[in-house]
Structure 1
Amino acid sequence: MSTAPNTAADASASTPPSWTVGEVTVHRIDEVLLPPATGPWLLPDATTDLVDREEWLRPDFAGPDGIVRLHSHSFAFEIDGVRVVVDTGIGNGKTRANPAWHDLGTSYLHNLGAAGFSPETVDLVLLSHLHTDHVGWNTRQVDGAWVPTFRHARHLTSRTEREFWAGYDMEESRRHMFDDSVVPVEEAGLLDLVDIPAEGIEIASGLRLLPTPGHTPGHLAVHLTSKGETALITGDCIHHPVQFAHPGIGSCVDIDPVQSQATRRRMLASLADTDTLVLGTHFPPPTAGRVVSHGDGYRMSPVSSA
């Protein structure tokens, strides 16, 4: 697994962008803009010819060269008195096989604090799945050891997800990632595994987890409801808005490509032409929008941040 070396600048911002969902403010916690080679590697069927036909993708989601843009960030919000972070990015100073993720030095923790979510105030960390670029800030290095970043928070993921990886014949780089970003949280007694039924499960008032398998077996999406307004955080069941128009485009690292496509088609059909705000975990700015019917598929109608 590799992309071009990471030359992208840290995507920090003095005031983290945010969106309002009823009484909930969802903040995007920027980590890094991923290098241009990430798109062709991750979504190989998103060819430049195909992307160029979707004019609505430019200038935000694709460049003039027809290459899709991807971003790494978390989301943070407070709902029903619970302070939540969804996914924790790549992390700093970690040894990774992918050069785009190796030994980063981003302003992620500064950005998190600027949104009002210093690590010690976070109650709950939701992990959509256990891939390297979604668990990295679970830990940070202190005195040569990897320790939980969110030391007062419960970390929650699907039981199906954790059990799948426990029985998986991991290559060395993935095992190393688990050792520095997952196991320390488990050993601290901070990781909770949840069974997620087909209809989803509510874990706090207005906060629901939905099963979205395929990219990984236990992948989950996060659904928010407040004062009649709704939002969905995708995780990696949708990596990029080009998949709105072409749901058959999958990721090169999907565990089950057929199931991943079926999940994506089902989700997009349920969201189309509704007021639900979709927040993409790898969508570059403007990051959020609504699913609108468009020809034989859909497009994203962006919603600007505050």
Structure 2
Amino acid sequence: MKKEDLADLAVFLAVAEERNFTRAAARLGLSQSAVSHTMRRLEASIGVKLLNRSSRHVSTTEPGEKLLAKLRPGLDQIAAQIEELRVQGNTPSGLLRITASKAAIRHILWPVVTGLVRDYPGIRVELSSEGRLTDLAEDRFDCGIRLEEFLAPDVIAVPVGPPARMAAVAAPDYLAHRGIPRHPADLADHACMGTRFDPHGTVYAWEFEKDGEEIIRRVDGPFIVNDSDLAIAAAREGHGIAFVTEAEVAADLAAGRLHRVLEDWCPPFGGMHLYYPGRRQVSSALRLLIDRLRWRG
């Protein structure tokens, strides 16, 4: 293998994980054109197409996926060793300010940050649980965690969880009394819990998709909240239908407290991502957090 191929493989790993040339370039500190050129050079050197490219998405081909499976563990070990050497002489410390939804803090962030502060006593973590998409620079946060679809295009985003699905759920008694919606249009006859993420914004419209048909429904009901936990609680008490992520109601569905409706209209989409400003210097503490949170499934 040529010496330059080793560096090119690191670029391939970044593109494959980010699924986007722009985000990969920001992660590597390169221009998008340089990343594109590197990938063309690597594919020409190997003689195999590694990536499928479209106007919006990048995905690995079957040979690319096989290479990624072999490549990732080795480069992860190298990166971990380099980080270990780096922190021996410059132990990460300081305050990390993080904004995330309550669900993201509970299911994704908390198990990781508790280990982080134990391993590095010089690191302190401030958590702010908000439903709205926060302006990191204005509110002086180092990073945030949100669903991919809510992120601005100018941030660097790192996946920290598997693909997500929305779930429309209601209590069994409510559905027995009001009937089961079979199509998103049927929601016009149902009480639905609204969500307003920004106090100055509009109520979130529910999005559905099936067989290539996309439907956006504006709903109405007895409650408008900015916290999915409240929407779920209202649904449990029989006030109507809540529209939240599948992970948030997994226990309720398993226990039968809530039943799912319109499941065939809720396809998977990009899950939780940690995001931070693209032009910002990443501290060693934030880099450690990213490395520990990064989804590698």
TM-score (norm 2): 0.29
Query: Which structure exhibits the higher relative contact order, with contacts defined as CA atoms closer than 8 Å and separated by 6 or more residues?
Result: 2
Please identify the structure whose Cα radius of gyration is greater: 2
Structure 1 or 2: more helix by fraction:
2
